[in-house]
Amino acid sequence: MTFPESNNFLALEPHLVARLKEALADQRPAVHVLTGAQLADIDEQKQLTPAMHVIHAGFRVRDARSDGRAAQLEHTWLIVAAVKSSREIRSGSAAREQAGALLARAGAALMGLRVPPCTQGPLILASAPGARYQAGFLYLPLAFTVVTVFAASET
């Protein structure tokens, strides 16, 4: 892997998308797996649901070499179940049931996933933000952290 590729913060994204598509392939109705870029310009009321959103939520530096030429980074990825239910909108029970089941399958598929050379270890389940309810939609997130190495070029 060349330095620009190994330093690519989003190199893991297509692997996460592929793993989720595989894990959710038998779901009916079909579950859409979408990235942050695909969601950027979508009107909420027109979004595809049910869906799993794969979003890079930032990173923190875990350690850095004293010469500044390499650092170990811990990235956070959010995997968000997005569902809409016209049934029981007031209580949201149908949406909670669907989102919970989707997130259970997605989490099981991703826990411990290793994607060398993109990562230095497995995906680790982490604390996530709370659920968000909005206009009949429910967004229920899982968070994972994963370690990568960011390095200077060999010039």
* Residue-wise pLDDT tens digits, 145-155: 999 988 888 75
> Which band of pLDDT confidence, cut at 50, 70 and 90, is reported for residue 46?
confident
Average pLDDT over all residues of the chain:
88
So what's the pLDDT on residue 40?
A: 86
Reported in sequence order, the residue ranges of 18-151 that DSSP labels E, i.e. its strands, are 32-35, 51-64, 70-84, 124-126, 132-134, 137-151
So what's the pLDDT on residue 41?
A: 84
- What's the distance, Cα to Cα, between the start and end of the chain in Å? 16
What does the DSSP 8-state code read for residue 122?
B
Four-CA torsion 143, 115, 28, 134, nearest 10 degrees: 20
What does the DSSP 8-state code read for residue 44?
G
Q: Is 148 exposed, middle or buried (0-12, 13-18, 19+ CB in 10 A)?
A: buried
Q: Which CATH class is domain 3-151?
A: alpha beta
So what's the pLDDT on residue 96?
A: 82
Q: Could you tell me the pTM of the whole model?
A: 0.89
User: pLDDT tens digits for 63-101?
Assistant: 999 998 999 999 999 999 999 866 555 555 777 888 999
